[in-house]
Amino acid sequence: MEKTHTKIGLAAAIAIVIANMVGTGVFGSLGFQVAGIPSGFPIMMLWLVGGVVSFCGAVCYAELAAMFPRSGGEYNLLSESWNSAVGFLAGWISVTVGFAAPIALNGTLLGKYMGNIFGLSSYWFSIPTVLLIACIHLGRLVDIGRFQIGFTYSKVALILVLGALGFLMGDAQPVSFLPAVGDGKRILSGSFAISLVYVLYAYTGWNAATYMVDEVKNAKRNVPLALLIGTGFVTVLYLLLNAAFFYSTPIEDMKDQPEVGLIAAKAIMGERGGMIMGILISFGLISTISSMTWAGPRVTLTMGRDHHEFRIFNRLNRNGVPHLAILVQTVVVVVLIVTATFEQLIQYVQALLTISSVMVVAGLVWMRIRHPRAERPYRAWGYPFTPILFFAVSIYVLVFQIIDKTKEFSYGLGTLSFGALLYFLIKKAQLRRKSQ
């Protein structure tokens, strides 16, 4: 039996959730939102809706995670609530781009911040950072946990300071956070729905603790708590930070710019202070890269335990971590950093992640219908309204995304199709082995 001292507690589990959520989305997406919605009230509604929807998703995931306490995230939850084919496709998304692409996004944004400050190519910062963090995650679990907690809660402190400085030191812009003429039309527009894609991407990660259930002490209790506490806390952080950005920084300066955090920091504290804050923001992204470097390979590890064809990823090094899965994911990350653009990656990944999370929430409803008397250590708060709200908003955004970003969505369908083909070949090989 695995010793308990090799597992992490509630504080580290919450840190993983917060770190997965707070990254490129909040520091890099506001510029794309204000381009289509240049008004304070709809922007705040965007981030509030994103938080409420994510919290609804978290309470649904929490019930299933407590029922099926095993690492793997959507791969495990969908395999249990639906079937192995659906679970495999979700796992395939996680193994290929579900974590690699967000890591690449955070690495790219870190590189852009540091590159702008020091006048160098972003690659000089993004790629070495990703490689260094991967090396750290080949070490002992207890050291990884300490690294994660330290960088995550330092980032939280940074966001609180930056938000406070925005209101205390920033030059107030001619904007209002109260409803204005035309805001209702803006909220019902396609621009609002597409902007919600960026917001939901910023909230992506509220389910992070479900990926490493096997490494959490008292998982049936601590994993649901980590999901709910982490998601609620990040919602408050996001509202504060985006209000500070909008209050202190001219909209024209932010439009279509991915380095909104750096632009806002310069507007608040001047060129030199902004550069210092830009460096601190870059260091804050390290915890996000670290948390996803931690979570992603655990899906690959779980799939390696279940499928003979992936058994090579079931190997652990002397520290008990899936070293081959970490190395493969890191290679994919570096390729994405070099080849993909910021916006394309967000649109491509978010569509796939939305589909996976919608299926998990639908799986919760299906399990309630099929097995109403099954043991549920945690029951989803607000059922059935929370899953209905999550499902409705997610589908609404997905439809607009498909219409507006057909090319990126087609890439996602291609990824799913390849995963379906691979599953078919694996099942065929399994049947052949049984018949021998």
Q: How many domains does the chain have?
A: 1
pLDDT of residue 24: 66
**CA-CA distance, 123 to 37, in Å (whole number)?**
32
Residue 366's pLDDT band (cuts 50, 70, 90): very high
Its pTM stands at 0.84
pLDDT (mean) for 105-122? 87
Query: Is position 380 within any domain?
Result: no
pLDDT of residue 266: 86
pLDDT of residue 342: 61
79 near 378, Cβ under 8 Å?
no
Query: Is position 433 within any domain?
Result: no
Residue 346's pLDDT band (cuts 50, 70, 90): low
pLDDT for 199-250, tens place per residue?
887 898 899 999 989 889 999 999 999 999 999 999 999 999 989 988 998 9
Query: Is position 2 within any domain?
Result: no
Nearest to 295 by CA among 78, 7, 20, 87: 20
pLDDT of residue 5: 44
Bridge partners of residue 8, in order along the sequence: 216
Domain containing 183 — which CATH number?
A: 1.20.1740.10
Full domain range(s) for residue 342 = 12-372+387-426
pLDDT for 248-267, tens place per residue?
989 888 988 877 888 888 88
Residue 4's pLDDT band (cuts 50, 70, 90): very low
Query: Is position 310 within any domain?
Result: yes
pLDDT for 23-34, tens place per residue?
767 877 788 888
Tokens 């945690």, residue? 378
pLDDT higher than threshold 50 for residue 309: yes
The whole-chain average pLDDT of the chain stands at 88
Percentage of the chain lying above the pLDDT 70 cut = 97
Q: 124: helix, coil or strand?
A: helix
Instruction: Determine phi and psi for 340, rounding to 5 degrees.
Output: -110, 160
pLDDT for 375-429, tens place per residue?
999 999 999 999 999 999 999 888 877 877 777 778 888 889 999 999 999 988 8
Question: Half-sphere exposure of residue 41, counting CA atoms within 13 Å on the CB side?
Answer: 11
Residue 312's pLDDT band (cuts 50, 70, 90): very high
Query: Is position 238 within any domain?
Result: yes
pLDDT higher than threshold 80 for residue 343: no
pLDDT of residue 383: 94
Bridge partners of residue 216, in order along the sequence: 8
Query: Is position 201 within any domain?
Result: yes
Query: Is position 240 within any domain?
Result: yes
Query: Is position 1 within any domain?
Result: no
